[in-house]
Structure 1
Amino acid sequence: MAVRGAFLPRAVCRQFVHAFLKGDRYRNAYNLNLLPLASSSALRKTFSTTPLSASRNIGNDSKGYTTSFALFEGLWEAGRTACFVNVGSDHPSVIEAIVKAKRERPDRWPKIITCPSEITAISMADGYARVTGRPQAVIVHVDVGTQALGQGIHNASNGRVPVFIFAVSDPLNQQIPVSFFVAHGRWKVDSYTAVTQLVDYIKSDVSITSALKDSKYATRGAARVAVHEARVGEIVSIPRLEDGERLDPLKIIARGLDDSDRPRSWINCGGTGIGWSNGAVLGVKMALADLERDEDRKPSLVCQVVGDGSFMCAAPSSALWVASKYEIPVLTVVLNNGGWKAPRNSTQLVYPQGLNTTASDDEINTSFRPTPNYAALAEAAAGLNVGWENTLDDSGSWIKGLRVETVGEFREALQLANLRVAQEGKGMLIEVSM
């Protein structure tokens, strides 16, 4: 089996593999020390491990002790508690190791979360790490499986979120070409080192430090703050709609601003890979549940607010199925305006007098009409009978889907969500037609 490390902790992944390969076919005890690979005190603390006992000998238990088993074992001993996987025909050794561990040491093994979509897997790991600061593992196929992680890697990279990614294959079944690109030089650096170097350089350059003292920069900063505060004031001042009126996205956001100044109450990916929240909300909820259990705190209600375009773009049925299978209770609010609107906005900025100004959504290929029944999708993805009446009938169903159009219907649905998600610990999706 070949294991390739990708993204932030590449050196860590390589040391995993090298540590395993140094053993006598993985039959002897090994000592994995990640401290030399960390470039900051925070990372040293994150990746530090307790060395294995010198007396530990697995030579008599070598049957089934493969590179895959050693990889998972190393992850667990390094403090990684979850592994989000998309397994298949490339992963016989991985599957075997998972089965072996579940039978022999289920309480000393990362929790394996099956993700039918790669984007769900990496987004869940991303969301978990954003809450805890502890990177978790993602295992996918090589080639197209790894490529499917693209926007997830982009989101994590822009958000500076650490994630372990392993692209796994069986070299007996396929020949993987190794490409080499000629370069004048090669350098590797982590974000912390890069930022430190930039800050040190700026501090040491008198011309830069002198320029930064110019009052115009303080004036610009104050102007930006004023513009932001004015915009927030405009949104908050929007009059409340009556119960019978139809909803629109801006007024939904305005109602949520009262709580938005609480630290970490509003999490955004920071990248442009849409659909991030489908999986990230599950990772956030998992992480909060772990923290709340350890600190004996009341469970938090975690809500995902997502447009229908983003929701459709990132394997929604996969994320909903994972939520149901592993009973991760979250509230999802899908704002259904019939498709993508951002492409039209950007096109109009570039071509304000262009044909797009009179074109329909179908003409510019951004329409989702006729729109899916997202409420029914939630229940279908969880393997349940379809039904979207605004009641709590069929309380045995783990995910409930509701469809609303007016303020009054939305308010009623939120009351049901508070009961179902926050108190009963079950999932719910509310589709808001706009």
Structure 2
Amino acid sequence: RWMPLAAASLPDHAAATILDRLEQAKRPLIVTSYAGRNKDAVPEIVALAETLGIGVLESVPSAMNFPADHPLYQGNQWNDPRQNEALAEADCILVIDSDVPWIPTVSRPDPAAAIFHIDVDPLKEQMPLWHIDAQLSIRADAGTALKQLNDALESRPLDQRAVEERTAHYVAKSRARLAALEAREAKSAGIITPEYLVACVRRHVDAETIVLNEGITNYGVVCDHIRMARPGSIFASGGGSLGWNGGAAIGAKLAAPDKTIVALTGDGSYLFSQPSSVHWIARKYKTPFLQIVFNNHGWKAPRFSALAVHPDGYASRANDLDLSFDPPPDYSAIAAAAGGAHARKVERPEEVEEAVAAAFDVVRKEGRAAVLDVWVN
């Protein structure tokens, strides 16, 4: 028999050390990327944040780690070329299960911040260059460690005025962030914005929906505007390769046949997913899913990468880096030809809501895959 390994826990002294600093902090912050792979860890993060008034920031998230509609949620960060405000003001940071808690050349904590690190792999043994200035790093299961922290809190007297002040600060930040996001969801004249597209998808997402995010340059847009709040409701690959979403959608449907699976993908990652094979397999094994292609007519990510490393280099001045898909392939027709999928090209904003609703109906009522090729600005 092959039994699962027992979950590792915090050493005896660790809970008190971490809680002491979190309680003393003015701006404590939790940073995580994939603690939510363990569904039991999510309510423990919520409980810890609510008890002590801690803000929660997701960094390059590959799971639903903290409810996006929670007032202590401070959003998610990717490779944005700017300093994250919550990270900058934090004076005590608890990093839980994260390979990239921040990118120090662009966005980093205050050097004086106390950092604690709990991770299934705190040494990042397969990464030759990895380090954060943690004063305590612990190999432990996130759900187990967080429960230990919450259990220890039950017997500790708390400064409720300090907790209320911290909570009020993060709630105000969260509300301002949400208002800014909602403003970006408005329908624009003549163009389809990724924000508007994801907002239209969100209206059809229910408690029986799993979202797979391979939006690439729209990773953050998907997280910001799909606003998942249930453990196990959204996943990303967690790796650096592209083309994951198609096979992942089939696997998700096989694992959860009663769920509606929605894969949100860039046009380049759609091609990398081998869509002809994916949709042939989806029909053969009866694993229908909705796939929405963010068609921006080319490789946007390589341009961003070049500008991030060489902001004043040749790429910043060149009119053409030979990254376009022009004319673009008929993405949805590939799926129709290979697997009989419902296929539709969406080029105008007034088409989006009806097209999304119809595609969900095909998947849920007809048991057939659907692909929307959406031309986004």
TM-score for the superposition, normalised by structure 2: 0.49
Give the structure with higher Rg (CA). 1
Between structures 1 and 2, the one with greater strand share: 2
TM-score for the superposition, normalised by structure 1: 0.43
Between structures 1 and 2, the one with greater helix share: 1
